[in-house]
Amino acid sequence: MQKITPFLWFDGNAEEAMNFYTSIFKNSKIGKVRRYGDAGPGPKGSVMTGTFSIEGQEFMVLNGGPMFKFTPAISFFVNCETQQEVDELWEKLSAGGEGMQCGWLKDKFGVTWQIIPKALGEMLGDKDPQKSQRVMKAMMKMIKIDVEELRRAYEGKE
């Protein structure tokens, strides 16, 4: 087990969430699942806690009830190599959820993700402040990040 593990609180749909996330990411799997018994407090047989991993990152889930909700104050940053990867992850993770500004989305469970191409960080980190500012300005207008549009801004061809 890794030293620090994100722990996600769900309201009865932790198993659905684990299945959803592991169906989206290629290098993922469900680990241990513990179910409620006769003593509850959840329905007998439903998931109490579980673990799953995505790209070597372990997560824990709990069906804890309706007391707490996810907010964008915590999000999962996904570093994507290509626009195709951005597009695929965006389509799958945003299904039933909503797109937000600058490559952020909220999935159908309310969990916030940042689907960010590696190229964005490279362009924003350029030593030429005019180039990086053009990229920042272009990104601020986007919901899903478009690498080609960022490149046009980077090159001054907006």
Q: For residue range 24-45, what is the model confidence (pLDDT) as tens digits?
A: 999 999 999 999 999 988 889 9
Mean pLDDT of the 5-17 span: 97
> What integer pLDDT is reported at residue 50 of this predicted model?
98
User: What is the distance between the alpha carbons of residues 19 and 47, in angstroms, rounded to a whole number?
Assistant: 12
> What integer pLDDT is reported at residue 42 of this predicted model?
87
Q: What is the pTM of this model?
A: 0.93
- Sort 148 into a burial class: Cβ within 10 Å, 0-12 / 13-18 / 19+: exposed
| Strand pairing category for 47-54 and 57-63 | antiparallel
Mean pLDDT of the 91-99 span: 98
**Residue length, the chain?**
158
> What integer pLDDT is reported at residue 2 of this predicted model?
85
Q: Which domains does the chain have, with CATH numbers?
A: 1-68 (3.30.720.100), 70-158 (3.10.180.10)
**Please, what is the average pLDDT of the chain?**
96
Mean pLDDT of the 44-62 span: 96
H/E stretch holding 119? helix 118-124
